[in-house]
Amino acid sequence: MEAFFFDLCNRILSLDPAIRFMGIADEHGTLLATVEREGLVPLLNTEETIQYAITAATRQYTRIRWQGILGKIDYTCSHYDKLLRVTIPLTDRSNRLSFVLIFTFDVNTSNFHKIIMDRIIPIVRRNTPRLLREKSKTQTGLSI
């Protein structure tokens, strides 16, 4: 499964040169895979990235409870002075958080919504069933 996480991260990272970083975390915010653009000087160190993933997962719990009323969350975005941070929550059929995709864009990326909706979300939707299947197998002890 680890190879699948890295492959998914690399596929998303390669979609646009404005994407700086891509990571996937479980529902607890534990990072499962991360990749970054070649030559990138990260703004956060490893420990800060780990803490950000935990915070991102925690925030999603407070947001997904409104999906029944407002509809499914495609993504959330925070605009910082130095970058754009995007989070995509992946929930199961019971609306429980399973994974969180976190990625960043260069701050001057004006078409980030189009990139997310037209390029990233389709890949995420195609891969969500496999992610959820593998998670289910792991939780029931059928997979190592």
Within-domain flag for 42: yes
Q: Coil, strand or helix: which one is 74?
A: coil
112, part of any domain? yes
Please, which residues bridge with residue 123 across strands? none
pLDDT tens, per residue, the chain with 144 residues = 789 999 999 999 999 999 999 999 999 999 999 999 999 999 999 999 999 999 999 999 888 888 889 988 999 999 999 999 999 999 888 888 999 999 999 999 999 999 999 999 999 999 999 988 877 766 655 443
Q: What pLDDT is stored for residue 67 in this prediction?
A: 86
State which residues form the domain around 123: 2-139
Residues 19 and 38: beta-carbon distance below 8 Å: no
Separation CA 2–CA 32 (nearest Å):
7
pLDDT of residue 144: 39
Residue 144 belongs to some domain of the structure: no
**Cβ count within 10 A of residue 74:** 14
* Whole-angstrom distance, CA of residue 90 vs CA of residue 80: 24
The CA distance from 84 to 95, in Å, is 26
Phi, psi (degrees; rounded to nearest 5) at 25: -125, 155
Query: How many folded domains does the chain comprise?
Result: 1
Predicted pLDDT of residue 140: 54
Cα R_g (the chain), whole angstroms: 15
Residue 65 is predicted with a pLDDT of 84
Model-level pTM?
A: 0.89
Predicted pLDDT of residue 139 = 64
Segments of the chain assigned E as strands: 19-26, 31-36, 76-79, 83-91, 97-106
Pairing of strands 83-91, 97-106: antiparallel
pLDDT of residue 21: 97
CATH number of the domain that residue 67 is part of:
3.30.450.30
